[in-house]
Amino acid sequence: MKHTHKFQFVALAGCAAFGWMGGCRGDRTPEPPHQFFPDLDDAPKWNPQTHSEFFSDGRTMRQPPEHAVAFGREPFVPDGHDWAAEWVQQRADLLKENPGYYTGKDGDKYIEKAPVAFTDADLLRGQERFNIYCGVCHGLEGDGQGMVGKQWSKPVPSFHDPKYTDPKQVQGLDGYIFFTARNGVPSGPPEQPDYVKSLMPGYKHALSVEDTWRIVAYIRALQQSRNNSLNDVPEAQRDKVRGESTKADADAKAAAEAAKAAADAAKPAAPTTPATTPTTGGGK
C-alpha cells in the first residue's frame, strides 16, 4: 500500500512538472532566463574606445609594440607552398618592401615601367576594371569622350595624346598613371597639391594594387591599338581582324546614316507660299 501511494505521488509530481513546463512555453517575461550552466555567458569584455582600469594607460584598445611590423594574417609561414599563394601575397601587401610596386614611385620619381609581367587574363581584368571605373570619364577607348567626361568642368585628357606615350614626359610613365589612378589629380600649385578639392578623385578605395597595374597595362594596349597597322597582327589572325574591322566600319556607317535620316525627319517642313492669281484689268 505504501508503494502504491509513493508511485502515485511520483506520477502526480511528474505530471505537474510537465504541465508547468508546457504552461510556461511561449510565455513572455521581463525576467532574465535561468542560467543553470552559465558557460561564460556573462564573461567581462571591453568595447572599443572605452575606458579600462586594467591597463596603465586607461585604454581598452591596445597599441602595437613600437617598431612592430605586421607580416601576415595567419599563424603560419606560407613561403614555398603553391597552395598558400594568397597568404604570400597578403604578407607582401603588409610589408610593402617594393615601394615602386605599391606607390608607382622610386623615391620622388615615378617609375618608367610596371614592375610586373602581365598575362592575357590580366589584360582582360584590366579592361573590365577600366570600363567600370575609368570609362565613364575617359571613354571606353581612352579618348576622353566618356559620357561624364564630355560634361566635366575641365577637358578630360585622352590617353592617345602623345605625351602619355612619351617616356621623356612624366605623363608617359607607368608609375605616373598608376599613382594618379589611385590618388587622383590634385588642384592647386604643384608645391601645395590639394587632394581634397581634386580635379579627379582617386580610386584606391575601390581598386587593389594588382588591378591598378592591370588598368595601366590595358591603357597601354589601347594606345598600341591606334599606333599599329594590320601588318603588326600575326598573319594567322589577320583575316579575322580584317573581317571584324570591315563589319565595324559598316556598322558605324549604317548608324551614321540612320542618325542623319532621323535628324532630317525631325526637321520642320518648310512653309509653303500660297499661289496668287494674277489680276487682269481692262474691263469697261
Task: Evaluate whether 127 touches 109 at the Cβ level (below 8 Å).
Answer: no
- Nearest to 149, CA basis, from 130, 164, 136, 158: 136
Output the pLDDT for position 206. Answer: 96
Output the pLDDT for position 207. Answer: 96
Say how far apart CA 122 and CA 125 lie, in whole Å.
5
Please give, one letter per residue, the 3-state secondary structure of 129-165: HHHHHCHHHHCCCCCCCCCCHHHCCCCCCCCCCHHHC
| Single-letter residue type at 24 | C
Per-residue pLDDT tens over the stretch 236-284: 887 887 887 788 777 778 877 887 888 777 777 666 655 555 555 554 4
Mean pLDDT: which of 1-5, 22-26, 93-97, 131-135 is highest?
131-135
State the DSSP code for 276.
-
Per-residue pLDDT tens over the stretch 193-219: 888 888 899 999 999 999 999 999 999
Per-residue pLDDT tens over the stretch 158-178: 999 999 999 999 999 999 999
Say how far apart CA 83 and CA 86 lie, in whole Å.
8
Work out the angle at residue 129's Cα, subtended by the Cα atoms of residues 209 and 155, and round it to the nearest 5 degrees: 100
Residue with cell 601588318: 231
Rg over alpha carbons for the chain, rounded to the nearest Å, is 37
State the DSSP code for 187.
B
Residue partners of 101: CB distance under 8 A and separation at least 6: 115, 116, 209, 213
Say how far apart CA 139 and CA 136 lie, in whole Å.
6
Percentage of the chain beyond pLDDT 90 is 38
Q: Which residues partner with 110 through β-bridges?
A: 105
Say how far apart CA 3 and CA 244 lie, in whole Å.
100
Output the pLDDT for position 140. Answer: 95
Q: Which residue would you say has higher pLDDT here, 122 or 198? A: 122
Residue with cell 581582324: 241
Task: Evaluate whether 162 touches 168 at the Cβ level (below 8 Å).
Answer: no
Q: Which residue would you say has higher pLDDT here, 95 or 183? A: 183
Output the pLDDT for position 9. Answer: 60
Is pLDDT of 19 > 70?
no
Task: Evaluate whether 87 touches 72 at the Cβ level (below 8 Å).
Answer: yes
Task: Evaluate whether 202 touches 183 at the Cβ level (below 8 Å).
Answer: yes
